[in-house]
Structure 1
């Protein structure tokens, strides 16, 4: 659109109209009267447009300005172009703000912007969920009035304190969150909030793992070392004592070897995030082999092992991992079932896949222990576990092996009645031969 403006042309038009009116006035011997009437008409015309403009600016909600001609047409056209330009700018700003909000909501961390006086300017949804904030109700509220944790209040109000702190979540006290404080601009502060519950739990598990491994290895090494020191003076060793030393050293060596083997198995399973599940595993045949191996140990304690495996029910998976899962569950039942007990092993098809279960009639497990049984080195009865040679890694191996086959371990137990460990391999990984 070609630019239009009010200039000498408009003034010339006004002067021309007055001149024409004066010339016509000469015909009637009243040039001044006719020129005055013309000027008055122009004033009325301009006043009318000024009133329309005032009404449009202050009361009218229409986007387009009124129609006009002459100099007022130029003004209205200019206003229309200005409105269009402002509308485009508002749309651009709205799109920019929308992109910013989408980006802020996509952040893996919560974000809260506060002023120097600690009043809240803005927060994303994750921060609202972690901190228990309500938006927009809490806009302008002081954050130290909404989060009443003494440590947080001291942290947020300190100028020379650390920029990173960890506190319980105000919304969920069992969840730990990390606050990171950083300058946002001259008058505002950005708080980055991160859920570190899982990280802290993993860190604690790592420390427990190192401590447990050290403890598990120290005990047999101490026994072996003690007998080796006794061997430095053979004269103090009677044949009976020597026989006992041999038996104890062999037992502790087997214990260490079993622990290291299970650690290596667990490490391999954890490292193999994408196992090859394309191999066909004849589970009935595999369970028959494991049951036969377990029977040799079960006979010592007069245990009865009953295997009920549906013939031809095959699964696809990693043979090493699934053998570890099956054998750990069966041998656990053998180790923890009292003399004369019975163990039932089941493998059968279900509407959702193939179910495996091991049921014993042992002492059972208290409910408080069930959620932690698959943790590394966790034992219900530590003394009994060491007596039976358990390392506390078997169920951790089972858990990771099953997770690689889209399954999970289910534990049902009742004190003095018995325990059932079971899992279901999904139908996508099973078929009938």
Structure 2
């Protein structure tokens, strides 16, 4: 291992040259000239080493410095060690950058690194997907030229980043932007897709507004009749009519509360309660009797049930799904409609189907039927006692069983509500 260059080694080198030159000069009886020549040789040798170093620094493309002798050996060796250290550091830096980028790619947020002027010098894959950026094509581009939103530009220009900015994009997504200083004169822009949160918040507001409206209507009816009775101005015949209406509104509120509790319970049901053994044919037998009682002979109800087809899941939720689908067909189809109930094994699992030949449903309503409180005909639904929550309950119950509700309707021909449970839910005959 070489030591660093020191004054002692330089003086020793000079002393050796002077001694050798003096000895040579002594033999030729010209010591002064020999010493001068020796110093000139030493200076010329140092000039040569300097030229070698300059050639390596400016011309030679080799990463390894030239080898040296004497006092230049520790210098060249030191340069070699420095090159090796820099090489290791560059390797570590590349590894660190790679780990950073790998970690950034796995984050659930869009990340964009920009200068304070807004020029992009890196972005992750999610930023390319959510914001439409391209990498490395957009390197050096100003982000305000690529995200052309006045609110976003003002947010960057004002440089008040204590609060995030929620920006609606042209594709309908809601993005939440946060900007943080990343390093000297650089910013880290973090974008998160909050479309689902925004949608859930809107659904929550609509839900409470709908619940308030649904409860306010029967309460207003009850309050009006009670005030009339309190004033004693209502004849006996009108009192009987008022009592019947009050009882109907009370039952409507009770049914609404019951449906809300059912929906809340279904949403909170843990996964381990989905392993019950369910005798679906027996459930459908009960649902059939309840449906015929509800119909009071106004509909023809036909059943086609595989008596051996039982499944695994949550019995209470499946009962709610089956009964809501059948009772909806009873409540929302006119007298004389034929309603068919089917529970059969298919190539893909077990299929439940409720079909009717009633007036049907217009196509623009089909995608929204499972929304809470959505009604195709609000006045008719309220008259039949519907809460607007039945299909929402069906949707969540089926979702817990890994299934989806399918709705098909041809106006004045046939309407079909169906779902399918996978083969994994079917119980073998041994069970």
Normalising by structure 1, we get a TM-score of: 0.88
- The yes-or-no answer on 1:386 pairing with 2:382 is yes
Equivalent residue of 2:310, what SS?
Answer: strand
Shift of 1:54: 2.8
Residues 207-226 of structure 1: pairs in structure 2 closer than 5 A: 207-226=205-224
Coordinate RMSD, CA, aligned: 2.8
Equivalent residue in structure 1 for 2:418, among 415, 422, 433 = 422
Q: How many residues align?
A: 429
Q: 1:160 to 1:25 in 2, by over 3 A?
A: closer
Task: Give the distance between the partners of 1:58 and 1:343, measured in 2 at CA.
Answer: 92
Equivalent residue in structure 1 for 2:318, among 322, 328, 347 = 322
Shift of 1:266: 0.4
Q: 1:229 to 1:275 in 2, by over 3 A?
A: farther
Equivalent residue in structure 1 for 2:373, among 368, 371, 377 = 377
- The yes-or-no answer on 1:395 pairing with 2:391 is yes
Task: Give the distance between the partners of 2:423 and 2:38, measured in 1 at CA.
Answer: 96
Task: Give the distance between the partners of 1:54 and 1:225, measured in 2 at CA.
Answer: 101
CA contact (8 A) 2:305 2:344 kept: yes
- The yes-or-no answer on 1:291 pairing with 2:288 is yes
- The yes-or-no answer on 1:413 pairing with 2:383 is no
Residue deviations 1:61-98 (CA, integer Å, cap 9, x gap): 43332333332322221111111222232233333333
Shift of 1:41: 5.5
Task: Give the distance between the partners of 1:293 and 1:315, measured in 2 at CA.
Answer: 22
Task: Give the distance between the partners of 1:363 and 1:33, measured in 2 at CA.
Answer: 125
Task: Give the distance between the partners of 1:338 and 1:3, measured in 2 at CA.
Answer: 103
CA contact (8 A) 1:275 1:318 kept: no
Equivalent residue of 2:137, what SS?
Answer: coil
Q: 1:59 to 1:368 in 2, by over 3 A?
A: farther
Task: Give the distance between the partners of 1:280 and 1:60, measured in 2 at CA.
Answer: 81
Gaps of 5+ in 2: none
Equivalent residue of 1:347, what SS?
Answer: strand
Equivalent residue of 2:259, what SS?
Answer: helix
Equivalent residue of 1:313, what SS?
Answer: coil
Equivalent residue in structure 2 for 1:259, among 252, 256, 261 = 256
Residue 203 of structure 1 aligns with which residue?
201
Normalising by structure 2, we get a TM-score of: 0.89
- The yes-or-no answer on 1:136 pairing with 2:136 is yes
Gaps of 5+ in 1: none
- The yes-or-no answer on 1:93 pairing with 2:93 is yes
Equivalent residue of 1:380, what SS?
Answer: coil
Equivalent residue in structure 2 for 1:175, among 156, 173, 176 = 173
Shift of 1:99: 3.6
Equivalent residue of 1:100, what SS?
Answer: helix
Shift of 1:385: 1.1
Task: Give the distance between the partners of 1:3 and 1:30, measured in 2 at CA.
Answer: 37
Equivalent residue of 2:427, what SS?
Answer: strand
